[in-house]
Amino acid sequence: MNVLGLMQLVDSAPAVGGYADCFQVHVLARRGLLHSEEQILQLLDASLQSSIGPSDGVAVGWAFKAARQGDLADLPELASRLSGPDVPADIRMASLEMGTHLWEVSRHWDWAQAMHGQVEDLAASTHLHHAMVFGTLVSETTAQEVRAIALCLFSAAKAIIRAAVAAIPLDETVVLKLLSRLQPEISELAYQYAACRPESIHAIASTEVVRAVAQKW
């Protein structure tokens, strides 16, 4: 296991933008709607279950398997599904933003150079969705698909929690506390998505997720 690689991937989300902006974390906090730990967990639960999981969770597993098997020919089709009508525009744009960011950041990681060498030409002509980039890179750090999917979901959750804690604001210790509470759900979702095929990739628009959650507050 490449522990350094795992740590770098988990911390690879951009400081601003990505899913944190997609799910309106700063807007909700500024309006005083998002102000507690429980609300952050409710927003994360809905986001992971309805949007991030069914899209990134499924896709990262397939990108991981393609990379581990040394057969990257299916990656353009995977990118096409992530860019297709079953994934709303807001989720697509956040995914592309994070995928491009991760690809550029990982150029400086020694352990990722072999994968860059294999995927560079393909990356130049294919949409760099986050799940595709994360899935190929994480294949260099672990041999377990479920762990790879869990790391992707964990990374997304960590970025959203960090943004929420800073925006509300709450004490920084809340980040670790909430991540610990999320681990059982993330593990369960990772096993669930490992059994899914790319045809099942879909997502609910982030605006719909936020609206549904906010109505309960």
How many residues appear in the chain?
217
Task: Name the amino acid, one letter, at 192.
Answer: Q
Domain boundary assignment for the chain: 3-214
pLDDT tens-digit series, residues 23-55: 999 999 999 999 999 999 999 999 999 999 999
Q: Where are the alpha helices (DSSP H) in the chain?
A: 3-10, 18-22, 25-30, 37-47, 58-68, 75-82, 89-105, 113-123, 130-138, 145-167, 173-194, 206-214
pLDDT tens-digit series, residues 107-151: 999 999 999 999 888 888 889 999 999 999 999 999 999 999 999
Gap between the Cα atoms of 79 and 63, Å rounded:
10
Q: Is the pTM of this model over 0.85?
A: yes
Give the distance, in angstroms, between the CA of residue 217 and the centroid of all CA atoms in the same chain: 25
Gap between the Cα atoms of 141 and 121, Å rounded:
22
- CATH fold, domain 3-214, is Urease accessory protein UreF (1.10.4190)
